[in-house]
Amino acid sequence: MDIIKIFAPATVANVSCGFDALGFAINAVGDEMVLTKTEEKGVRISKIEGADLTNNIKHNAASVVALAMLHKIKADFGIDIQLIKKVKPGSGLGSSASSAAGAAFAVNELLGKPFTKLELTEFARIGEEVACGSPIADNVAAAIYGGFILVKSYKPLEIIKLPVPKNLWVAVIHPQIEVKTEDARNVIKKDIPIVDAVAQSANLAGLISGLYTDDYQLISRSIVDVIAEPYRKFLIPHFDEVKQEGLKAGALGIGISGSGPSIFALCKGENDAKKVAQAMREVYQNSTIDFNIYVSKVNTEGVKIL
């Protein structure tokens, strides 16, 4: 194989109760990438469409991953990358993760698949570190594995793929403002009161239990974030209103997608997801901020060949 075109899904990290530990991929939006083998060694980025990102190969989330993989395998060829960004940087939908996970998956295919998904996740974390200052795994693992994933441990990296209830849908509103992950991480308190740690871990356990047992009500009661949301919500205009109206319209739970500003709503079934999306839309329609809305099933396959 000398050329490959792939789709790398957008992702929702944290899912309220799983800060840096939980994530899922969505079907409705994702990046496209074309990677081509070149005779000349090394990596180059020949096209970036849809976002104002650097094509400096040492600073771009996709090229640093490709470079690391080629270096590791001592490849005797190089790679040209074309990025068609549909997941906007600073959206909270795992934009750098789509680039990094997409590059990891595609380079692995061009190399003849020498690496496991876990190893690809490790490589993709290099892209996350370059793009947002921390090698967080929740978004990249969700993009690579698809479905819901749990980052059970960072050292050593352990990823657990979780089941996705059949009728679980998501509505996402992406207000067109940029929140930098680094800034959103800086507003969170570094010390957590024990009562909050207990609540957060109990909700995470509740959510995972709900995913395994298809218990939508338990999922609903578990979408609670006492660690990040209370501090981050001030970075997102109308967050409380969107949450209130979305819940009134039937969402199981609503929270900040990753580091924001996107807001996700988990819903039972497509109809509820559409109603919730409409309620979220009405809040933002009355504001001066542009927005995009996605209604989607949870993506279960992760990065795929187009």
Active site residues: 128, 181
Q: How far apart are CA 264 and CA 173, in angstroms?
A: 7
Q: How far apart are CA 72 and CA 138, in angstroms?
A: 23
Q: Is 20 in the site for ligand HSE (CB under 6 A)?
A: yes
Q: Is 180 in the site for ligand HSE (CB under 6 A)?
A: no
Residue 79: left if φ>0, alpha if ψ -120 to 50, beta else—which one? beta
Q: How far apart are CA 127 and CA 166, in angstroms?
A: 32
Q: How far apart are CA 184 and CA 177, in angstroms?
A: 13
Q: Please report how close the Cβ of residue 22 comes to ligand HSE at its closest, in angstroms.
A: 9
Site string for ligand HSE, 138-167 (x = CB under 6 A): xx----------------------------
- Give 297's contacts (C-beta < 8 A, 6+ positions apart): 26, 27, 168, 169, 170, 270
Q: Which range in 102-110, 135-143, 242-250, 277-285 contacts ligand HSE by CB under 6 A?
A: 135-143
Q: Which range in 26-34, 133-141, 152-160, 215-223 contacts ligand HSE by CB under 6 A?
A: 133-141
Angle 95-110/138-145 helices, nearest 10 degrees?
50
Site string for ligand HSE, 87-126 (x = CB under 6 A): ----------------------------------------
| Contacting residue, 37, 185, 221, 297, with ligand HSE by CB under 6 A | 185
SS3 164: coil
Q: Looking at this protein, which amino acid is placed at residue 265?
A: A
Q: Is 13 in the site for ligand HSE (CB under 6 A)?
A: yes
Give the binding site for ligand HSE (CB under 6 A).
13-14, 20, 132, 136, 138-139, 181, 184-185, 258-259
